[in-house]
Amino acid sequence: MPPKVKRRGYQSVSLDILSGLPGNVIDDILMLLPLRDDVKTSILSKNGRLPQLTLDSTHWKMDYDLLSPIIGLKNHLVLELPLLSRYKLPSAIFSIFLLRHTALENCSMPLPSPAFKGSDRLISLELRHVNISSIFLQILIANCPLVEELVLDVTLSDHGSDNVIEINAPMLRFFNFHGNITSVCLRIPRLTKLTLWYNADLYGVGKFILATFFESFSVLEHLSLDNGSIELFVGADEVLAVRLPYILNSVKHFHLYSFCLGELEVACALCLIRSFPYLQYLEMQVGDYDNDIPVFEFIEVEASSEVTFNHLRDVELRNIIGSKPEIQLIKFLLAKSPVLVRMLITPREREEPVPAKIGDYATVRLLVELTKFQHASPKAEVVFNLD
């Protein structure tokens, strides 16, 4: 309890000591208090915000209540609901506690009320395995103007509509998306890191126009795409250009996962790489694909082009089996990268838990081919990872 201060001729006055302390000290004090005292303190003190809130089994009296959701908060609301529960959460959850970080998992979000105003303090938002309508998703992001980090692993409840989803987030810097958005317009001028994963087998092929999709990413530095997201671009029925109609000078890291060496997929990837003139690091994890001659011939044609990767220093190729398209791709990258320092090649793991051996036919073939390739960089080191 705060002390009483007595002055001559005046009644005693209670001092709100907590409000006068630095914010980080207040947070540490409140984190050590029981939940009920946290709430009381937050009400009584003007600076007594809730830095951490945990609702666990100690707050439930009945055994069956132990199956209820668990919530944790440290300026950070974390709500992990039971898998497949699909609890319906009210939109008002984004307006409570003056939240700055919010993570919700395994729930559904109905349409908000007309009075929904979002959160003007939220800087980090994660929605994982969340069922939400495209309308609410747009409203939510648009009404959280300070969001800098956004993780979406969502299923759109109105999937299949022809509406283009617009994500307008002027302060967003990190965007990680998994889900079934098949047509989107991104207005994210400060985005520096983008991860886009899309399951085309589950959701069907979408339509992302390549040039339109990337046109606002002027400061993008890290880009990660999986093969499903590549199919979003090649499925848009557009003629893939040699490069984008603009260049993205800030992109330094480009990651491709489960990448299929099909002709359209390779054309799309090369279009992007040519548009990243200052690309320094390229990582490619090869997925399953048909080992067909057209891809081999396509890369062969590219090898004779004038394109050069003048800043590419580090290449990592994983899940390699030594096929003709892969060998041609390796040859192409070595011949077009004059400042390359290292190329790390990791073969595909066998079904049995035995690492690749020098005696494997595909491994020997690849090693023999590598010794014949011309290296544009005199410092290039090709490392074959057998671990």
Distance CA 311, CA 276 (A): 10
pTM score of the predicted model:
0.75
Confidence bin at 195 (pLDDT 50/70/90)? very high
The answer to whether the beta carbons of residues 121 and 99 sit under 8 Å apart is yes
Q: Which domain holds residue 273?
A: 223-387
Residue 165 clears pLDDT 50, i.e. is over it: yes
∠ Cα 254 264 351 (to 5°):
70
pLDDT for 112 equals 80
CATH assignment of the domain containing 359: 3.80.10
Residue 139 clears pLDDT 50, i.e. is over it: yes
Please give the residue that has the higher pLDDT: either 254 or 259: 254
Type of residue found at 227: N
Please report, for residues 140, 158, 185, the alpha-carbon distance to residue 182 in angstroms, rounded to integers and kept in the order given: 19, 12, 10
Please give the residue that has the higher pLDDT: either 132 or 194: 194
Q: What is the mean pLDDT of residues 343-363?
A: 65
How many whole angstroms from its chain centre is CA 335? 32
- For residue 318, tell me if it sits in a domain: yes
Pairing of strands 281-286, 253-259: parallel
pLDDT for 101 equals 86
Query: Mind listing the pLDDT tens digit for each residue in 285-323?
Result: 998 766 655 665 666 666 667 788 999 999 999 998 888
- For residue 209, tell me if it sits in a domain: no
- Rounded percentage of the chain residues whose pLDDT exceeds 90: 24
Query: Mind listing the pLDDT tens digit for each residue in 269-289?
Result: 988 999 999 999 999 999 876
pLDDT for 135 equals 86
- For residue 29, tell me if it sits in a domain: no
The answer to whether the beta carbons of residues 87 and 93 sit under 8 Å apart is no
The answer to whether the beta carbons of residues 279 and 251 sit under 8 Å apart is yes
Query: Mind listing the pLDDT tens digit for each residue in 10-22?
Result: 454 455 566 667 7
pLDDT for 146 equals 92
- For residue 360, tell me if it sits in a domain: yes
Q: Which two tokens stand for residue 273?
A: 């790489």
Residue with tokens 């994983």: 318
- For residue 146, tell me if it sits in a domain: no
- For residue 65, tell me if it sits in a domain: no
pLDDT for 317 equals 94
- For residue 25, tell me if it sits in a domain: no
Residue 257 clears pLDDT 70, i.e. is over it: yes
Q: Which two tokens stand for residue 174?
A: 């990190």
The CA R_g of the chain, rounded to the nearest whole Å, is 27
Residue 158 clears pLDDT 50, i.e. is over it: yes
Which residue(s) pair with 8 in the sheet?
A: none
Count of domains for the chain: 1
Q: What is the mean pLDDT of residues 190-202?
A: 83
- For residue 150, tell me if it sits in a domain: no
Distance CA 374, CA 382 (A): 12
Poorest-pLDDT segment among 151-160, 258-267, 357-366: 357-366
pLDDT for 206 equals 61
∠ Cα 73 178 278 (to 5°):
105
Confidence bin at 105 (pLDDT 50/70/90)? confident
